[in-house]
Amino acid sequence: MPSQPSKHPAGELVQEALAQHESNLIAYACGILGGDEERARDVVQDTLLKLHLADPDRVRENLKAWLYAVCRNRAFDVLRKEHRIRFTDDDDHLDWLDEWQPDPSEDASRDEMLEHVWAALEQLPQNQREVIRLKFQHGLSYKEISTVTSLSVTNVGFLLHTAIKRLRKLMNHACAE
């Protein structure tokens, strides 16, 4: 029997979130959880459950930022519960990217450049990697990143500026070798 659209505002909001944000939230949680897609899916499921229980009128206007903030907090809760969280410069939150392979038809020089970008990205501090991922991989605005990370918009801008500057320096160094 085909599922009927929900007449409940919270149910409609969850369906909207599933359609528009589920895969990106899974990728985001996967990055935080060291590439564990199953745990990432559980985190996103918990996030959507929390959305269903939330007041739709309070979250609808900033749905994307709200989802990322809840997903982030839930992923960190999972890590804390497992005593596996580390906030050092050598965290490997992007290990799952090692398995990513670009389209075989892509140019070899682009492949090499992507390898350098990912390697350089992994050398950034955790907070810089996170804001870079939220901005460029998930398309969040500074304000949305601020909401997700509980940092000020100014701090988000500073972290992004510093991260991009450092990435540029690392990339120039890698290309010179």
Instruction: Give 88-149 as a DSSP string.
Output: STT--TTGGGGG----TTS-HHHHHHHHHHHHHHHTS-HHHHHHHIIIIIS---HHHHHHHH
Q: Name the residue with higher pLDDT: 33 or 4.
A: 33
Mean pLDDT of 3-20: 72
The mean predicted confidence, pLDDT, of the chain is 78
Task: Flag the least confident range among 29-33, 61-65, 138-142, 173-177.
Answer: 173-177
pLDDT for residue 95:
47
Mention the CATH class of domain 94-177.
mainly alpha
Residue 152 has pLDDT above 90, yes or no: yes
Q: Which phi and psi angles does 155 have, rounded to 5°?
A: -65, -40
Mean pLDDT of 101-106: 47
Domain residue extents for the chain: 1-85, 94-177
